[in-house]
C-alpha cells in the first residue's frame, strides 16, 4: 500500500498523448492479475469448490488453519470458490461482450451500409431495446428463457447489443463518407469488400475501447442476475451467487459477501480505468 501512496497523481493527470498514465498501468497490472487468476484459478484452488469440510468448521474467518480466506456456511473453502468463481464470472462477462459485439457489428453494420428504411427499422428496434432499464430487460430475458449460464450470457449480450449497434453504425457512416470508400465504390468493389477492407479495419480501435467498458458493465450485470437467482446456478460458484448465498449469513460472517464484492470492485475499476486510458491513447 505504501507504493500506491507514492504515485504522483498531479503528474499522471498532466501527462497526455499516446502513452498510458501511471494509474492506468497499475489498472492494467491489476486486471492482468485478475485474468491470470481466472485462467489458473482451478489449479491454484486448494480444494474442489463444492467440497464440504464440516470437520474444519463453517463460516470460518480469514486466516483459519487450512483455509486462507475461511469457509462458508456449508464449510466450503472460500478461496477455492472465489478462484473458480473468478473464472466463471469473467468467462460469462467475456462471452457476453463478444456476443453483444457480434450482434452490434451485424445490426449496426447492416444499418450503416444499407441506409434507408433498413437502417430506420433496425435502429428503431435498437432504440426500443435501449428504452428498457438494462437490468429489467436482462431479468425478463433470463426469466423467460429459464436461468442458466448460457441464458445469463445471452441476456447480458442482448442488453449490450444496442449500444454496440449504434456505435458500429455511426463509425460505419463516418468511414463510408471517406474518399477512399468512394474510390473503391467507383472501381466496382462490392459492399462486402468495402466493409471488410475499408471499414472494419478503421473502426476496431474505438470498438475495442467500447468493448472493454462493456466488460466492466457485464461483471456487475452477471453478479446482479446471479444474486437474484436468475444467473449462474449453484453449485457452480460465481461472484454473484456467492454474494447471494453469503447475504443470508451476513450477521454471522461478512466474508462470504465482502470477498466477492472486493473482486467485483477491483475488476470493474481496473478495466474501466484501463479502457479509458487505451481509448485516449488510441485517439492521439
**C-beta of 53 vs 176, nearer to other proteins:** 176
d(CA 61, CA 72): 9
Which residues have CB under 8 Å from 28's CB, separation 6+?
20, 270, 274, 277
Q: Interface with other proteins includes 18 (CB under 8 A)?
A: no
Which residues have CB under 8 Å from 55's CB, separation 6+?
none
Taking phi first (over 0 means left), then psi (-120 to 50 degrees means alpha), and beta for anything else, what does residue 70 get? left
Which residues have CB under 8 Å from 1's CB, separation 6+?
none
Binding residues with other proteins: total (CB under 8 A): 17
Q: Interface with other proteins includes 178 (CB under 8 A)?
A: yes
As measured in angstroms, the least distance from the Cβ of 34 to other proteins is: 32
As measured in angstroms, the least distance from the Cβ of 172 to other proteins is: 14
**C-beta of 72 vs 175, nearer to other proteins:** 175
Q: Interface with other proteins includes 189 (CB under 8 A)?
A: yes
Which string of x and - marks every residue 125-164 that binds other proteins (by CB under 8 A)?
A: ----------------------------------------
**C-beta of 53 vs 185, nearer to other proteins:** 185
Q: Interface with other proteins includes 120 (CB under 8 A)?
A: no
Identify which range of 52-60, 89-97, 192-200, 273-281 contacts other proteins by CB under 8 A: 192-200
One of 68, 182, 234, 252 touching other proteins (CB under 8 A): 182
**C-beta of 202 vs 261, nearer to other proteins:** 202
**C-beta of 37 vs 197, nearer to other proteins:** 197
d(CA 124, CA 233): 34
The residue written with cell numbers 457512416 in the block is 173
User: At residue 225, what are phi and psi to the nearest 5 degrees?
Assistant: -60, -45
**C-beta of 44 vs 182, nearer to other proteins:** 182
User: At residue 192, what are phi and psi to the nearest 5 degrees?
Assistant: -65, -40
Neighbours of 92 (CB within 10 A): 27
d(CA 132, CA 140): 10
Q: Interface with other proteins includes 173 (CB under 8 A)?
A: no
As measured in angstroms, the least distance from the Cβ of 197 to other proteins is: 7
One of 68, 118, 190, 265 touching other proteins (CB under 8 A): 190
Q: Interface with other proteins includes 187 (CB under 8 A)?
A: yes
DSSP for 91-142, written as a single string:
HHHHHHHHHHHHHHHHHHHHHHHH-HHHHHHHHHHHHHHHHS-HHHHHHHHH
Q: Interface with other proteins includes 281 (CB under 8 A)?
A: no
Residues that bind other proteins (CB under 8 A): 178-180, 182-190, 193, 197-198, 201-202
Amino acid at each position: 500500500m505504501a507504493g500506491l501512496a507514492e504515485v504522483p497523481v498531479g503528474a499522471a493527470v498532466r501527462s497526455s498523448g499516446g502513452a498510458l498514465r501511471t494509474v492506468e498501468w497499475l489498472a492494467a497490472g491489476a486486471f492482468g492479475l485478475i485474468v491470470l487468476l481466472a485462467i489458473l484459478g482451478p489449479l491454484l484452488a486448494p480444494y474442489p469448490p463444492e467440497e464440504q469440510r464440516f470437520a474444519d468448521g463453517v463460516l470460518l474467518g480469514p486466516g483459519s488453519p487450512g483455509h486462507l480466506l475461511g469457509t462458508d456456511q456449508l464449510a466450503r473453502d472460500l478461496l477455492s470458490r472465489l478462484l473458480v468463481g473468478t473464472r466463471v464470472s469473467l468467462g460469462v462477462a467475456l462471452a457476453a461482450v463478444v456476443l453483444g459485439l457480434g450482434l452490434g457489428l451485424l445490426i449496426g453494420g447492416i444499418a450503416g451500409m444499407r441506409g434507408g428504411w433498413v437502417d430506420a427499422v433496425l435502429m428503431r428496434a435498437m432504440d426500443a431495446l435501449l428504452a428498457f432499464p438494462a437490468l429489467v430487460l436482462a431479468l425478463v430475458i433470463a426469466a423467460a428463457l429459464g436461468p442458466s449460464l448460457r441464458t445469463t450470457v445471452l441476456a447480458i449480450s442482448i442488453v449490450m447489443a444496442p449500444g454496440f449497434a449504434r456505435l458500429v453504425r455511426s463509425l460505419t457512416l463516418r468511414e463510408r463518407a471517406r474518399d477512399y470508400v468512394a474510390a473503391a465504390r467507383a472501381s466496382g468493389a462490392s459492399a462486402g469488400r468495402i466493409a471488410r477492407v475499408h471499414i472494419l479495419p478503421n473502426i476496431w480501435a474505438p470498438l475495442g475501447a467500447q468493448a472493454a467498458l462493456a466488460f466492466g458493465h457485464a461483471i456487475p450485470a452477471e453478479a446482479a442476475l446471479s444474486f437474484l437467482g436468475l444467473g449462474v446456478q449453484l453449485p457452480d460458484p460465481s461472484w454473484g451467487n456467492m454474494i447471494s448465498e453469503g447475504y443470508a449469513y451476513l450477521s454471522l460472517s461478512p466474508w462470504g459477501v465482502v470477498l466477492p464484492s472486493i473482486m467485483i470492485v477491483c475488476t470493474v475499476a481496473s478495466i474501466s480505468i484501463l479502457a479509458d486510458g487505451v481509448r485516449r491513447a488510441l485517439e492521439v
